[in-house]
Structure 1
Amino acid sequence: MVLNRRSGARPAHEAADLIERLTREAGRACRVHAVRRGAHVPAVARAAVEEARRLGGILVAAGGDGTLNAVAQEAYRESLPFAALPQGTFNYFGREHRLSLELEQALASLLKARPRAVQVGEVNGRLFLVNASVGLYPRVLEEREAATREHGRHRWVALWSGIRTVLRERRRLALRVELDGEPRLLEAATIFVGNNRLQLDRLGVAQAEALDHGQLVALWVRPLDPVSTLGLLWKGATGQLEQARAVESFGFRELEVESLSGATRPRWLKVAIDGEVLWLRTPLRFRPAPRPLWLMAEPPGA
Structure 2
Amino acid sequence: MRMMILLNKDGGTIRGMEPEEFGDHVANALAGGEATVRLVHGPELIDTLNEAEADEEIGTIVAGGGDGTISAAAAACFRSGKVLGVLPLGTMNLYARSIGLPMDPHDAVDALAAASPKSVDIGTVNGRPFIHQVSIGLHEQLVSLRSRLDTSTRFRKMTSTLKVLGDVIKDPPRFPVETVIGDSRRQSVVSAVSVSNNLFGSSPVPFAPVIDAGVLGVYLAKAISSPRVLRMTIDAARGALMANPYVDVQSASSVTLRFPKRRRRRHAAIDGEIVDLEEELECICHAGGLRILAPASPEQGA
Q: TM-score range by the shorter chain?
A: 0.7 to 0.9
Unaligned stretches of 5+ residues in structure 2: none
More strand by share: 2
Residue by residue over 1:84-105, the C-alpha shift from the partner in whole angstroms, topping out at 9 and shown as x without a partner, is 1011121121112111222222
Distance 1:119 1:152, change over 3 A: closer
| Corresponding residue number in structure 2 for 1:44 | 48
CA distance in 1, matches of 2:198, 2:95: 7
Distance 1:201 1:78, change over 3 A: same
How far 1:33 sits from its partner (Å)? Answer: 2.3
> Among 283, 286, 294, which residue is 1:286 paired with?
283
The count of aligned residue pairs is 292
CA distance in 2, matches of 1:211, 1:81: 16
> Among 273, 277, 281, which residue is 1:276 paired with?
273
| Corresponding residue number in structure 2 for 1:232 | 232
What amino acid is the match of 2:220?
Answer: W
Unaligned stretches of 5+ residues in structure 1: none
CA distance in 1, matches of 2:284, 2:135: 13
CA distance in 1, matches of 2:150, 2:222: 28
| Corresponding residue number in structure 2 for 1:222 | 222
What amino acid is the match of 1:202?
Answer: S
Distance 1:169 1:16, change over 3 A: farther
Residue by residue over 1:219-259, the C-alpha shift from the partner in whole angstroms, topping out at 9 and shown as x without a partner, is 10014222321121001111222332211111112211111
| Corresponding residue number in structure 1 for 2:156 | 154
| Corresponding residue number in structure 1 for 2:241 | 241
Residue 189 of structure 2 corresponds to residue 187 of structure 1: yes
Q: Percent identity?
A: 23
| Corresponding residue number in structure 2 for 1:2 | 6
CA distance in 1, matches of 2:105, 2:159: 24
C-alpha contact (below 8 Å) 1:268/1:282 kept by paired residues: no
Aligned-residue Cα RMSD (Å) equals 2.9
More helix by share: 1
Distance 1:186 1:127, change over 3 A: same
> Among 21, 34, 40, which residue is 2:39 paired with?
34
TM-score by length of 1: 0.85
Q: Which moved more, 1:9-18 or 1:112-121?
A: 9-18
> Among 20, 23, 44, which residue is 2:24 paired with?
20
TM-score by length of 2: 0.85
